[in-house]
Structures are given as structure tokens and as C-alpha cells.
């Protein structure tokens, strides 16, 4: 519900903004197709796989461990929103390695940050993102996974927001409160910069980038976003 509500709000704000609407009208049909397929795949297919095949996998191979982790929902939330976020940081850096960049580079063809491009990716990339495997595992292991699920949902909602242009202004109290801690849209915008400076890999928290010296600080967004990939549409989706 948190994810869907965030998506609806961001789409609504995008559509009613005249400048954003004019930019959307100029988007290529092929990009719309990639974005729509990506959102449907990430928003429907992946959750179905998580709670059917992957969850059943753990039930089959770990039959005696279901509900074996007894902890407060707040601990489950921190596990999801903080600990898994650190694992995602390294997962994301691995996707930028020479081994996996071919799979992930389609995501970086986004030339304008908007919520619709959040899940633009080669479809196979979804199987290499840690969330597919680790969320069902902890939901299976935790005796009360509500806190964990909320943390995972909030992470997904923030991911939608990170890919939008709706960030608090640098002079606002909200910016001053959030900027020291959370990856904001302008931070993630630098990750998508055309200059390919390899920064701001974090999902929720800036601390991981600061800790590993991959953080780029700026209150503005880069002048140019996205890389050019001269592949056919089928290659961008399936690599062939």
C-alpha cells in the first residue's frame, strides 16, 4: 500500500506539473515501452516470484526454520531498512562492475529523472538484485515480519521518490533534516549523470557511500543525465 500510494502521488504531481508534462510528451515511444515493462515486471512479476517460488524454495530447503527468528518488529524494520540497505549498496556496486555492467547499463539510459523510469532495466537484472532473494528469506525466518515488510516497502517507496525530480529545496528545513542521512533525488541524479562518475550507490542511507568514499555532495542536479546505448529494443529488454 505504501509503495502504490507513493507511486500514485508521484505520478499525479508529475502529470499536473506543466514542465514535467511537456518533457514526458517528448519521451520516445521505445523508452515508454521499456519503462512500462520494467514497472510491471518489478511491481507485479517479481513480488509474485518472491512470495511463491522463492518463498517455497526456503520452505523446502529450510523446513524447520520458518518463524524461528523471534524479535521485535522494530528490529525487523532496522534489519530491512538499514542492514539490507548496506547489502544493496554492494549489490549495486557489483552491477557497475565490468562483469555485470552490460546487464545494468540500460537503467542508466534514463535522460530525465521521473518516476516512470525507476525500473527501466534489462529484465534479467531483477534476478541479480538482492531484494528478490533476501526479502522472502527474512519474511520466512521472522516470527513477526510486519516490521521487516514495512521497512522493505518504505525502501521501495523511497526508490520511486529518488528517481523523481521532486526534492526539497536546499534552503528548506526538510532538506536540512533529510540531507545528512538519506539519499535524495539530487544525490541519485548524480549517480545517473552522463559523466559516469561512479558515485552515490546507496539506496536509503548516505552513510555507506561516505564510509566507502563513493559519496558526491551537491545540492543541484547534474546538467546532463544518462548514457547512450545503441541497442535494439529487444536487446535492451533481453540482451538479444
What is the pLDDT, as a whole number, of residue 118? 96
Closest by CA to 188, choosing from 174, 206, 210, 207, is: 206
Domain, as residue range, for 88: 2-238
Dump pLDDT digits (tens) for 138-189.
999 999 999 999 999 999 999 999 999 888 887 788 888 999 999 999 999 9
**Overall number of domains in the chain:** 1
Residues belonging to the chain: 240
Closest by CA to 187, choosing from 171, 170, 174, is: 170
**Average pLDDT of span 64-81:** 97
Cell matching residue 39: 514497472
| 3-state class (DSSP) for residue 107 | helix
DSSP letter assigned to residue 193 = B
Q: Is residue 36 within 8 Å of 119, Cβ to Cβ?
A: no
CA 163-122-226 angle, 5° bins: 45
Dump pLDDT digits (tens) for 103-138.
999 999 999 989 999 999 999 999 999 999 999 999
Amino acid at each position: 500500500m505504501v509503495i502504490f500510494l507513493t507511486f500514485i502521488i508521484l505520478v499525479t504531481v508529475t502529470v499536473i506539473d506543466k514542465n514535467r508534462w511537456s518533457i514526458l510528451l517528448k519521451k520516445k515511444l521505445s523508452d515508454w515501452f521499456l519503462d512500462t515493462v520494467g514497472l510491471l515486471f518489478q511491481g507485479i512479476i517479481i513480488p509474485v516470484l518472491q512470495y511463491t517460488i522463492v518463498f517455497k524454495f526456503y520452505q523446502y530447503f529450510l523446513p524447520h526454520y520458518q518463524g524461528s527468528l523471534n524479535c521485535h518488529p522494530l528490529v525487523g524494520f532496522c534489519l530491512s531498512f538499514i542492514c539490507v540497505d548496506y547489502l544493496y549498496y554492494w549489490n549495486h556496486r557489483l552491477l557497475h562492475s565490468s562483469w555485470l555492467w552490460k546487464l545494468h547499463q540500460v537503467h542508466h539510459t534514463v535522460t530525465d529523472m521521473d518516476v516512470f523510469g525507476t525500473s527501466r532495466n534489462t529484465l534479467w537484472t531483477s534476478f541479480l538484485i538482492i531484494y528478490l532473494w533476501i526479502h522472502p528469506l527474512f519474511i520466512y525466518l521472522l516470527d513477526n515480519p510486519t516490521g521487516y515488510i514495512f521497512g522493505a516497502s518504505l525502501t521501495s517507496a523511497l526508490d520511486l521518490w529518488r528517481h523523481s525530480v521532486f526534492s526539497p529545496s536546499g534552503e528548506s528545513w526538510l532538506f536540512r533534516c533529510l540531507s545528512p542521512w538519506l539519499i535524495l533525488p539530487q544525490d541519485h541524479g548524480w549517480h545517473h549523470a552522463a559523466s559516469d562518475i561512479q558515485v552515490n550507490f546507496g539506496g536509503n542511507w548516505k552513510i555507506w557511500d561516505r564510509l566507502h568514499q563513493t559519496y558526491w555532495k551537491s545540492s543541484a542536479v547534474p546538467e546532463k543525465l544518462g548514457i547512450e546505448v545503441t541497442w535494439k529494443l529487444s536487446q535492451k529488454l533481453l540482451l538479444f
